[in-house]
């Protein structure tokens, strides 16, 4: 229902305008500033007496004091319904291809397009009948959407118990058609359509129970799944300096992660990288279905060249879409790139509001905003018994790669896994460039914990020897210490690193990771008859190459079996003897 409040512009400061109003105004209410025959969308972010500040989601050039403001009485909302998958939206959920058709090559301001197609007919199948009782978030029917069955839900804003009065029979309908009528406890009828709106800054909580994340979200990246795992419904962050491979790692994850739907929120990333994503995804094959990867992907595109206020909108829009699909019992991965740009937008708006700044001029409430965003992740049990999840992975771009800056530190306080990228590993062309020294995870690995702990101990011991050799030189270390260093380098080269350009090594199944890691652990936990450092170096160099050849062979193929025999033969050539501790661990893991 439209708001009858009258308002006008009385001040402009960048993308923030001050309005004076007569009547009532709500926080986060949407309004339109009339300028040069266009309506520019904005959101109320502060109210003081009969004046309010609005952040405008467009360029504010041309706005002047006295311009009329239309307040619509609704909050900033996302439209939820069939037709979202495969779309590329801006931060306000405008489909960018349609905006381009309407506005031309350069996107004009004030152009808004329906988020979902109004004329497309969907094959509706009801799942309720007259007399059934339903609550908000309950499914009343379904339509096919790409590879999924898209459940049509009772709108989230309908509180209380409802009785189904009428349901349309199976057939083709648009999202504008009434497909069900329900009656509330007071006897009032409500017409339900396939699509409805929900405020993006309000979390969806229509589930029966919130569960603790326990099941791994397999990414098929060995270093992540084994050493720094992520759980379905969990959270993780990827901070790193510019050019360290954050975006590449996210793209690899989106292709191979064990989830149903991927939502990519480019909330302030550079336009070139977003264009690459939009071009690549329709051409990529989904390894699970063999169809286009775009069929189960949604891209929210709000680049660094777009208005800063839209960065905030894009973050909340994307997580609302993720929660919507979770309510259908699907597993969703939300990749936000990069949350630093969102934080910079908050800092800019906080400065214009003349709020007391916190560290590095970021707003004092930065931590609570970041926490509120990541808290919307989670794995939930729905009322029909199905399980759905939203996993959030956010990249952070700290200036100069400084992980002590406020955005990184605020993020680390709330996430369950930290994949810190290092400039040193990136420059050494190591992929992924996740630094094993500083990264951590609170989630359960796909590999036995005692195996992982032993391998990590060997790796860190080798790193210490390497640091010592930088001071005293190779000749200043014992052969035993040098072998420890070579084992650490071996683990890094054959297991922690991965070739994203190799068709086989780019994505490694859990079964293969477990099988390979057992073999790696055997090498790490063995004593070899190696006379000196030269023979040790030659042995491990050859072992490393044989393992890499093994990694590049198709799982359980003849080539795979032959490469494995070469690895075993080379292990035996140095009379490798597995230590009792490791032998017991390997036996327990069989």
The answer to the question of whether 525 is labelled as a binding residue is: no
Chain centroid to Cα 130, Å, comes to 40
The answer to whether 370 touches 407, Cβ cutoff 8 Å, is: yes
The verdict on whether residue 244 carries a ligand-binding annotation is yes
SS3 at position 375: coil
**Has 501 been labeled as part of a binding site?**
no
Check: CB of residue 300 under 8 Å from CB of residue 180.
no
Give the span between the Cα atoms of 451 and 449, in whole angstroms: 5
Q: Is 120 annotated as a binding residue?
A: no
To the question of whether residue 241 is assigned a binding role by annotation, the answer is yes
Helices assigned H by DSSP within 73-186: 96-103
The residue to which tokens 């951590």 are assigned: 440
Tell me the C-alpha distance between 217 and 105, whole Å. 40
**Residue 506 labeled ligand binder:** no
- d(CA 452, CA 440) in angstroms, rounded, equals 12
Main-chain dihedrals φ then ψ at residue 427, nearest 5 degrees = -65, -30
Which of 434, 218, 239 is closest to 337 using CA atoms?
Answer: 239
Quick check: helix, strand or coil at residue 577? strand
Strand pairing class (331-336; 261-267)? parallel
- Return the closest-CA partner of residue 33 out of 10, 51, 49: 10
Q: Which two tokens stand for residue 238?
A: 């990827």
Q: Is 247 labelled a binding residue?
A: yes
Alpha-carbon distances, residue 3 vs 10, 32, 54, 110, 158 (angstroms): 20, 12, 16, 20, 21
Alpha helices in 388-448 (DSSP H): 406-412, 423-427
Q: Are 523 and 567 in contact (CB under 8 A)?
A: no
CB 305 within 8 A of CB 271: yes
CB 362 within 8 A of CB 347: yes
Q: Tell me, what DSSP letter sits at residue 87? A: -
Conformation bin of residue 145: beta by default, left when phi > 0, alpha when psi is -120 to 50? beta
Rounded Cα distance between 128 and 138, Å, is 10
| Rounded Cα gap, residues 127 and 140, in angstroms | 5
| Token output for 249 | 């790692």
Q: Is 246 one of the annotated binding-site residues?
A: yes
Query: Can you give the three-state secondary structure of 407-455, one letter per residue?
Result: HHHHHHCCCCEECCECHHHHHCCCCCCECCCCCEECCCCCCCHHHHHHH
Q: Which residues are annotated as a binding site for ATP?
A: 240-247
Q: Which residues are annotated as a binding site?
A: 240-247
């Amino acid at each position: 229902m439209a708001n009858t409040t009258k308002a006008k512009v009385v001040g402009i400061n960048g993308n923030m305008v001050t309005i004076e109003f007569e009547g009532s105004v709500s926080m986060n209410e949407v309004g339109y500033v009339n300028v040069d025959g266009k309506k520019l969308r904005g959101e109320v972010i502060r109210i003081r007496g009969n004046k309010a500040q609005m952040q405008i989601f467009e360029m504010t050039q041309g706005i002047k004091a006295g311009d009329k403001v239309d307040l619509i009485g609704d909050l900033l909302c996302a439209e939820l319904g069939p037709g979202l998958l495969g779309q590329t939206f801006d931060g306000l959920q405008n489909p960018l291809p349609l905006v381009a058709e309407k506005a031309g090559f350069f996107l004009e301001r004030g152009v808004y397009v329906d988020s979902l197609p109004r004329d497309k007919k969907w094959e509706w199948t009801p799942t309720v009948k007259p007399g059934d009782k339903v609550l908000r978030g309950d499914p009343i029917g379904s339509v096919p959407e790409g590879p999924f069955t898209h459940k049509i839900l009772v709108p989230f804003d309908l509180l209380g118990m409802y009785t189904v009065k009428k349901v349309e029979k199976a057939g083709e309908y648009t999202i504008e058609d009434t497909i069900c009528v329900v009656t509330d406890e007071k006897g009032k009828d409500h017409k339900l359509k396939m699509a409805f709106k929900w405020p993006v800054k309000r979390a969806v909580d229509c589930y029966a129970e919130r569960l603790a994340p326990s099941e791994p979200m397999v990414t098929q990246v060995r270093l992540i799944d084994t050493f720094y795992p992520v759980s379905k419904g969990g959270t993780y962050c990827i901070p790193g300096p510019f050019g360290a491979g954050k975006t590449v790692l996210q793209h690899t994850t989106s292709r191979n992660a064990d989830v149903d739907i991927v939502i990519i929120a480019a909330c302030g990333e550079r336009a070139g990288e977003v264009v690459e994503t939009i071009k690549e995804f329709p051409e990529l094959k989904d390894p699970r279905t063999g169809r286009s990867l775009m069929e189960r992907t949604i891209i929210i595109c709000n680049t660094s060249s777009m208005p800063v206020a839209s960065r905030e909108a894009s973050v909340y829009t994307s997580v609302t879409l993720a929660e919507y699909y979770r309510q259908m019992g699907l597993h969703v991965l939300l990749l936000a790139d990069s949350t630093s740009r969102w934080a910079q937008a908050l800092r800019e708006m906080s400065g214009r509001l003349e709020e007391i700044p916190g560290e590095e001029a970021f707003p004092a409430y930065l931590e609570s905003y970041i926490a509120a965003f990541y808290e919307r992740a989670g794995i939930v049990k729905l009322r029909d018994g199905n399980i759905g999840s939203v996993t959030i992975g956010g990249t952070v771009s700290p200036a100069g790669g400084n992980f002590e800056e406020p955005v990184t530190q605020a993020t680390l306080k709330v996430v369950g896994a930290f994949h810190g990228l290092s400039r040193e590993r990136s420059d050494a062309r190591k992929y992924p460039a996740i630094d094993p020294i500083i990264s951590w995870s609170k989630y359960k690995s796909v590999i036995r914990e005692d195996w992982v702990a032993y391998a990590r101990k060997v790796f860190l011991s080798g790193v210490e020897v390497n640091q010592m050799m930088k001071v005293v030189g190779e000749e200043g270390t014992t052969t035993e210490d040098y072998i420890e260093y070579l084992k650490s380098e071996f683990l890094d080269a054959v297991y922690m690193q991965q070739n994203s350009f190799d068709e086989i090594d780019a994505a490694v199944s859990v079964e293969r990771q477990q099988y390979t890691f057992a073999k790696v652990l055997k090498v790490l936990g063995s004593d070899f008859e190696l006379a000196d450092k030269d023979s040790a170096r030659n042995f491990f160099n050859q072992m490393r190459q044989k393992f890499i050849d093994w990694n590049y062979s198709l799982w359980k193929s003849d080539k795979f079996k032959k490469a494995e025999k070469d690895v075993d033969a080379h292990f035996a050539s140095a009379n490798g003897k597995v230590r009792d501790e490791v032998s017991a661990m390997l036996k327990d893991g069989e």
